Structure formats: structure tokens, C-alpha cells
Amino acid sequence: MCAERLIVVLLAGLATAAAMGQVVEPDAPVQCRTFDHAGAVYADAGHAGGGSAGPRTFPARVVDVTGINSVGVPGNAGNAVVSLLFAPGTKVWGHSAGATFSFFGGPANPGMGFRMRNSAGAQITVNYAPASSPSVINDPPTKVAPGGEITLHDGRLFIEFFEAVDDLANADGTWTSGTIGVLFEDSGECCVWDNGAYDQRTSIPSQDACTRQPPTNRVCVFAADDFYLEPPYVHRIDWLEAVFVVQNPAPAYNYDAPIGKVFVYKDCEGQPGMLVPGYESGFDLFLPRDGLVATLPGGSKVFRVVAPTADLFLDGGKAYWVSFVPTGVTSQGGSDIWYWGSAGSADGVTPPPYVKGSVPHVKQNDPANPWQIVCFDPAAGCGGCTDLNFCIRGERCKIIYDAADFRTFTGTPPPITALGARSINAGGITTQQARAADDVTVSPCETDLYPCLVEAYVWTNCVPPRAQLEIYETQCDPVGNFARPQDNRLFPVTGTINDTSRVDLGFSRPGPGGTTFRLFCFRFTEFSGFQFEAGKTYWISALATGGGTPTNDGYFAFREPRCPEDECYRTGNPGFARSNFDGTPTIYRNWLSTGLLPIAGAQEEDFAVRVAVRHAPPTVTSGALARCVADFDRSGQVTVSDIFAFLSEWFSGCP
């Protein structure tokens, strides 16, 4: 067992103690809360309504513009900019306004407005021409022209408020009251996992206010619930969200600013195990500007909280646990208590007939304490077992090549050349270049395969540890009777493809000049629209990068056979390598099979790498949509010719 299993009976009668903020003792049961939603006042249009934990129920984000100054023309460094957070992939398609604007001083500006842009610079500009000062701006919800939408690939929108001319020598204009609206749409789906909407039945405290003063106001409880991801995919997680009920809420919170953390754990025997490697510090949890769901009788509030999780990839075929942990008000005198809402009840009263996976777990007083099973005992008044509400958005990426079982060692470290083949770009210096590559063949029955993730395992002593990716086409060697990489890389044609994240796997061995080689899993997720063609073989080269110093070095890790007694563990062609490095090992400028490298003990090897793909282009920032699946012949139209194109593929053996 990973941790002690303990049934914790949640007694509704102890809710009063929680409301008083008493310090939770090690043997005290976690106290659930049932809030009265009768007479709740739900948020106005533009907010998540109805107590739902999933997609927004209104397609507008309302921004209070009271007191925002505009200084000069678009791009003026003095202009006020408001940044908003949405689900990645959200499309902004319109705007609205109901506000008052005043000019001060002179000359009177001929116009003003605001500009919405994404991180890539695509933008929507909204201009107004007030006839007098003050001027009332009443702009009903308005769509932009077709094709003028912008897509928020990373979920971030920046709104700049401007005037039509620069008049820095004079007092500028001010939005004196009112709001503007951002009209948007997102996927509206929990397309990776939906644990259910908040059912208004009960809730569990989950809050890291462990050091808040005075001690009677401390809350130190961490709750988690599980989810399962299906094989044979790797799942890119973009976005997590949940609904919390907050007792004694602060008069105001900093919207779209971090208000806690979200942690993701591996499952271990039906409860949270270790944190997912590479993400031990968790992800920032935000309270979005449209996060208010409802105000309850007595003053408690219902909030939706969100966590963007860029570059989080989780393997399918496994269970995981997610823990939403708001901090609330951490300053002196803070007294808000955050309760994670339940899910699964059909009527908000009756316990759900089942739970998805395991029941929620909690740990108290110290994050290092063991996890405990939470069982809601109906006899104690808490209404039976439950799930906790949360939603996971992202995409599934199909694994087409999996050789991620890297070689390791125990005891005395072997030579680095027994663990991998040299592969490095040392500061662009010609005499410190080496490449190692392995082949991946795309099925002839596939179409439109775009890289989603490449994971490569590389030994490097460079500080900081970084890596690059290169892709080569295959060719038959003009002299030998074998296939190998072409001499010139296919992708990228110019520039570099750099890793987007990395995980230190905890293996090390001494390197030259007092350095240390460490083994990293480097992840590559940005491929600039590169596409794998069906029926072709490609060579993937992962290389360490560092400055051009004599000791900087890197090695593409060899694959370790899953069954050491199996002599046929290699996949396809052996790995190939070439090197311009002076000294040991000897220079080998032409591609050589790993079995022919001028290294003692050389044998044919594969390299440790994994490739996952998507069947449509990644989301783009111009507002374009992914190709329609029914448009089988990719003509841009859905017609009867698509049926014949599909049948042609079918009868050729490629269903």
C-alpha cells in the first residue's frame, strides 16, 4: 500500500466548527458542508450560470472598464491593457459595450476604442467616434466579419484601450463607467474527462491556508479525486476546472490571478501516489473574471476556478488523481473557507448510485501526511459516497511509435558510449557537431498525420539542459544494401525545433572535466505545421544543445529491450549516427549504423523515442477551423466525391 487507508466519517453536525475556522487536529474527521441553494442569486449574463462545472452557459466575457485610461494610438506603451484567460482554443468572434467615456483637456480626440489580440498578434479592433464628452457608448453584441475571428491558442486575450491620436502633453480620456463584452465560443466539452457538474448536494474542504493567522482561521485540508485515460493514446491536457463553494468569501478577489494550485498524481493502489514527474510544483489555479456562479443565502458564494496546464502529457491506460487546492486569502485575518463541490446526484439530494473510479481522498494538516479515504456516511447525515466535480479539456494523440524504454544501469556506470550515441549541437561549432537518429514508418493506411508529441531521451552534461529535434527523410545507401537517413535534414529547413519541456529522470554518471551526464526526457510539441506522409519512413534525431566548450556533450539514449532474453527487440532499421567531433570516439562524418560505429562493443541499437500524432492540423491563431472529417478528399467541400474517395481507400486495404 502507498499510504494508510482510513475511513473518515464526515459529520454534518461538525460544520459549525469548520465555520469558526478551528484548527483541524490529526484525528479530527474532515467536515463536509451542505449549503442551502434555495433562493440562490445566479450571476448575470456573461457568467457561468446554473451551478455548472463544465462549459460556460453564456458566450460573453464582461469586463468592467470603470477608471481605465486611454493615452494614445494603438501600440502606445502608455495605453492600458487588460489580460483575460480563456480555455485554450477559444475563438473570439465579436464584441459589445455599454459604457461612458469622457475626454479631458484638448484637443478633443476624434475617436477611441479597444483592440483585442491573441499571443500571436492576430487582432480585432473596435473603433468608436464619440460626438461629445462625456459620451455614452451603447454597442449591442456585434459579430466581426467572417474570417475576422481570432483563436486563442494558449487561452490568453489582451485588450488594449486606445485613442485615435497621441496627445501626451494633455490630459487623456477615461472610461468613467460601464462594461465591454468579449463574445466567444470554445469547445463546450470536457473532451478528455468529465467527472460531472456540481450537483449542489455537499462539498469537501480543500484549501492550503495552513499558516494563516490567527491560527483559529487556518484551513489545511487537501482533497483529490481520480480519473482514467484510455489507451492507446497520450493525452495532452490543456485545461482543468472545478466549482467551489466559498464560506466567508472576501469582498473581492484578484480575478485572472493565481489563487491556488492544482496537482496531478499517479494512481497507486487506488489512491494518490507520486506527483507526475516534471510537474511536481503543480499548476497555477485562477479565479476567472466570469467565475462567479451564484451567491447563496447567508453570503456564501459559488465560484468556478480554472487551471491552464500547458505541456502536460499523460499516458493512456492509466488512472490519475487531481487535487484542486485554493489558498484563499492568506493574509492576516483571512477567514474564507473553500469547499470543493460534489457531483453525481440527479436531484441535489439523493446520493449518486455509483462513483467513477475511487471515492475522494484527503490529507490534513501537512502535505506530507498520508492520504485517507473519504466515505460520506448516510447515517451521519452527509448522504453517501460521491464524486467531486471537475472537467478536463485537451486532446488525444495517437501513439504511432513507442520505444521509450531507455537503457539504464546499476552499480558502476558503464562508458557513456554504452548508453547512447553522440548527438549534440555545441554552439554551432563545426567540429562539435554530432547526430544520432532512428526511423519511424507511417502506415500507408493513415492520412493527415501531424506530430503532436515527440519524447526523446538524451544524456547531456550541458547546463542548462536543452535539446533540439531534427527530422530526415530516408534513402537507400548508394553503396551499401541498407536504408539510412538522407544527408540533409527535411525539417526544420531553417532554424531549430527546441524542446518545450523536460524531465530529469534521476540517472547520472561522471562526464569529462568534472561534469556530470544526466538523463532527461525532452518533449517537443511545436512543429510549425510539419506533416507526416502516409507510407513513408522518417528518421528522428534528438540532440543536446549547449555552448561550444570542450566539455559540453550529449548522447541520444539507447533503447533497452523490454525482455532482455529476446534478441529480436529492435524495431525496423537500426539507429544511425555521424560525428564531426575530434578525439575519442573517432570522427565518422557519414551516417553509420550503430553496429558499425568505431566504438568498442558497438552493436546495432535502437534509440529511446516516442512519437504521437493528431489527424488534423493543430489549432491556428488566425481563426481557421480544423478540416471537416467528412471532406475525405480534402477538396474544401463535402460532396458525393468524398464517398468514392473513401471507398477507394477502403478497397485498397486502408479502411
Residues 159 and 293 in one domain: no
What is d(CA 269, CA 35) in angstroms, rounded to the nearest whole number? Answer: 33
What is d(CA 81, CA 441) in angstroms, rounded to the nearest whole number? Answer: 48
What is d(CA 315, CA 137) in angstroms, rounded to the nearest whole number? Answer: 51
Looking at 185, 211, 229, the residue that finishes a domain is 185
* Per-residue confidence (pLDDT) for residue 562, from 0 to 100: 57
Give the largest Cα separation in the chain, rounded: 85
Residues 362 and 282 in one domain: yes
Task: Name the residue among 255, 228, 223 with its Cα closest to residue 242.
Answer: 223
Residues 209 and 323 in one domain: yes
Name the 3-class secondary structure at 127.
strand
What is d(CA 472, CA 492) in angstroms, rounded to the nearest whole number? Answer: 9
Take residue 299 and report the three cell numbers written for it: 453570503
* Count of beta carbons in the 10 Å neighbourhood of residue 163: 23
* Per-residue confidence (pLDDT) for residue 483, from 0 to 100: 93
In a domain, 47, yes or no: no
In a domain, 459, yes or no: yes
- Tally of domains in the chain: 4
What is d(CA 587, CA 430) in angstroms, rounded to the nearest whole number? Answer: 12
pLDDT in tens, 60-76: 677 878 888 878 888 88
Task: Name the residue among 246, 243, 278 with its Cα closest to residue 263.
Answer: 278
- Partnered with residue 420 across adjacent β-strands are 557
pLDDT in tens, 546-569: 987 888 999 999 998 655 555 566
* Per-residue confidence (pLDDT) for residue 374, from 0 to 100: 76
Q: Which residue has the higher pLDDT, 226 or 287?
A: 226
Take residue 344 and report the three cell numbers written for it: 453525481
Owning domain of residue 466: 404-614
pLDDT in tens, 93-135: 889 899 988 876 555 556 889 999 999 999 999 998 887 788 8
In a domain, 412, yes or no: yes
What is d(CA 145, CA 235) in angstroms, rounded to the nearest whole number? Answer: 35
Query: What is the rounded average pLDDT of the residues 485-492?
Result: 94
- Partnered with residue 467 across adjacent β-strands are 544
* Per-residue confidence (pLDDT) for residue 104, from 0 to 100: 65
Q: Of 53-57, 336-340, 591-595, which range is least confident? A: 53-57
* Per-residue confidence (pLDDT) for residue 466, from 0 to 100: 95
Contact by Cβ (8 Å): 119, 156: yes
Give the best-scoring range by mean pLDDT among 29-33, 492-496, 533-537.
533-537
Q: Of 182-186, 216-220, 345-349, 515-519, which range is least confident? A: 182-186
Beta strands in 106-209 (DSSP E): 112-117, 123-128, 135-143, 150-152, 156-163, 173-185, 193-194, 198-205, 207-209
* 22, pLDDT greater than 60: no
* 177, pLDDT greater than 60: yes
Residues 195 and 180 in one domain: no
In a domain, 273, yes or no: yes
* 291, pLDDT greater than 90: no
Residues 197 and 77 in one domain: no
* Per-residue confidence (pLDDT) for residue 168, from 0 to 100: 56
* Per-residue confidence (pLDDT) for residue 20, from 0 to 100: 35
* 524, pLDDT greater than 90: yes
CATH number at residue 103: 2.60.120
Q: Of 46-60, 283-297, 384-398, 503-517, which range is least confident? A: 46-60
In a domain, 620, yes or no: no
Residues 166 and 218 in one domain: no
Mean pLDDT value across the chain: 82
* Per-residue confidence (pLDDT) for residue 532, from 0 to 100: 94
Residues 121 and 206 in one domain: no
Residues 519 and 635 in one domain: no
Contact by Cβ (8 Å): 301, 245: yes
Q: Could you tell me the pLDDT band of residue 34, with boundaries at 50, 70 and 90?
A: confident
Query: What is the rounded average pLDDT of the residues 169-196?
Result: 79
Phi, psi dihedral angles at 342 (to 5 degrees): -80, 170
* Count of beta carbons in the 10 Å neighbourhood of residue 390: 29
* 1, pLDDT greater than 60: no
Query: What is the rounded average pLDDT of the residues 231-237?
Result: 92
* 521, pLDDT greater than 50: yes
Residues 290 and 327 in one domain: yes
Q: What is the DSSP letter of 532?
A: B
Looking at 167, 185, 203, the residue that finishes a domain is 185
In a domain, 425, yes or no: yes
Query: What is the rounded average pLDDT of the residues 385-394?
Result: 91
Looking at 185, 212, 234, the residue that finishes a domain is 185
Residues 331 and 297 in one domain: yes
In a domain, 480, yes or no: yes
Residue pointed to by grid coordinates 480555455: 87
* 188, pLDDT greater than 70: no
What is d(CA 291, CA 303) in angstroms, rounded to the nearest whole number? Answer: 5
In a domain, 298, yes or no: yes
CB crowding 485-524: b at 16 or more within 10 Å, else e: beeebebeeeeebebebbbebebebebeeebebbbbbbbb
Query: In one letter, which amino acid is 648?
Result: S
Residues 420 and 471 in one domain: yes
Residues 143 and 284 in one domain: no
What is d(CA 415, CA 422) in angstroms, rounded to the nearest whole number? Answer: 12
